[in-house]
Every structure is written in structure tokens, then in C-alpha cells.
Amino acid sequence: MSDEIKVLIVDDHPLFRQGLSDLLSTEPHMEVVGEAADGEVAIEMVYEVHPDVILMDINLPTINGLQVTRKIKSQMSDIKVVVITGYDDAEQVFHALRAGASAYCPKDIPPEALIRIIHAVMDGKYAVGDKIMTYDELMAWLEEKIGHFGGPLVGDPEELFIPLSPREMEILEHVTKGLSNKEIAYKLGISHQTVKNHMTAILRKLRVDDRTQAAVYALRHGWVRLEGAAEQGVNI
């Protein structure tokens, strides 16, 4: 490990970014090398500043944090991602870890716990909340959590870990804005049947019964920004 841990902060709330930056500036072996307020800028900055660790929000403009994490990890696997979010629920943990995050913690995490987690992920560990685990411990923890869901998940736990593909996320975003399958097909330049196939996959992965439930799921988990959906009357 190098002497300095280079950290990139990705969050669209300036005060929260400033708070994280102020916290890390007090740490002798950490350096904030950049800040980004949306997903696309975050991806660009990764190539510019080459961080060791990214502190990542999920509910971001342009591209959500899960998509950003997945894209970055697919190209630069050594970078560690610590998801810090207000969307604190079990399924979101699974989605974040499957996307490539090493840690998942709520925004009200104590400062000393966050510092401990950053050092832990740099050492190859994983963290959920304030619980730090090895890979094997994480797998055992996940198996236990999956078992608590019961039903079909026990027979096919891998399904729970599958995040939506970039195209599925794009289609789901249009669904939250009230577009029909035909309208989505026209907008994306793909066939109506292709959209239907993607929708079937989305419903299966999210374990919901219809488009409305899928839209509500995306909004509640911060995968889609509220502005456009609210105008279309999608309530959460």
C-alpha cells in the first residue's frame, strides 16, 4: 500500500462532500484527490486522478452510483468502492456488492468507523455497516441473509445479486417517466419485442409483478432521480 490513500468523493450534496473532505483532511495518510457531483463526471475523474478508494453515493444525476461502480470496476478492478447512502436496506446491499463495491454503509456512519472501513477495504476486506469481514466471512454473511428472505431465493440465490444491465436501467428510467414499451422502443431505436424482453428480465430481477412496481422500486432505491418521475405522477 502506498503512503497516501487517494480518495475520490462522489455525491451530489455539496455539504456532505465538504464534510467527507474535511474529515479525510485530518487523516495523515489520506488525500482527497477529487470530488464529483454526478455519475458521468465521476467516471471521467477516475481516469484523471486515479483514486485508490471512491466514496460513492447511489442516487446521482446522469448515472446512478451502482452503474458507475460497475463500469469503473469492470475497467479498473483495483479501485475500491465504498458505497455511502441514505438507502439502507438489505437488497440494496446485495446490488452494491454485486456491482463491485467493497463496502456499504449508511450516511450517518460515525467518522471513525468510515476511516476504519477505508483502511479495511485497502487491505482487501469488505464491510457492511460497521461490520468488517474477509471475503469468506462476507460470503457466509450473505448466505445467512439470503436465507432470511425465504421462498424462491433460497433455490437461486444468485438472482438476488444480479444488478440491472445498463440497457435495462435505461429502460426502467423511461418507465418511471411514464413511457409505454412502444414509446421506449422508438426512443431507443430498438424493437418493441426487445423492450418487452428487457422488461421481463427487469421484473424477474427485481422480483416485482408489473411495471408500476418496478418504477416504484427504482425510485425508492435511488436508482432514478425523482424530478422526471414526479412530473409523470409516479408516487412513492
Answer yes or no: are the C-beta atoms of 17 and 36 closer than 8 Å.
no
Residue-wise pLDDT for 72-120, tens only, equals 988 888 999 999 988 767 778 888 888 889 999 988 999 999 999 999 9
202, 166, 203: which is closest to 74 by C-alpha?
166
Residue-wise pLDDT for 164-174, tens only, equals 777 888 888 88
CA 70 from chain center: how many Å?
8
3-state secondary structure the chain: CCCCEEEEEECCCHHHHHHHHHHHHCCCCEEEEEEECCHHHHHHHHHHHCCCEEEECCCCCCCCHHHHHHHHHHHCCCCEEEEEECCCCHHHHHHHHHHCCCEEEECCCCHHHHHHHHHHHHCCCEEECCEEECHHHHHHHHHHHHHHHCHHHHCCHHHHHCCCCHHHHHHHHHHHCCCCHHHHHHHHCCCHHHHHHHHHHHHHHHCCCCHHHHHHHHHHCCCCCHHHHHHCCCCC
pLDDT band at 146 (very low <50, low <70, confident <90, very high): low
> Percent of the chain, pLDDT > 90?
40
pLDDT at residue 225 greater than cutoff 70: no
pLDDT at 47: 92
pTM of the model: 0.70
Dmax (CA) of the chain: 56
Distance CA 228, CA 217 (A): 15
Task: Kindly list the structural domains of the chain, giving each domain's residue range(s) and its CATH number in brackets, ordered by start.
Answer: 5-143 (3.40.50.2300), 164-231 (1.10.10.10)
pLDDT band at 21 (very low <50, low <70, confident <90, very high): very high
Answer yes or no: are the C-beta atoms of 147 and 154 closer than 8 Å.
yes
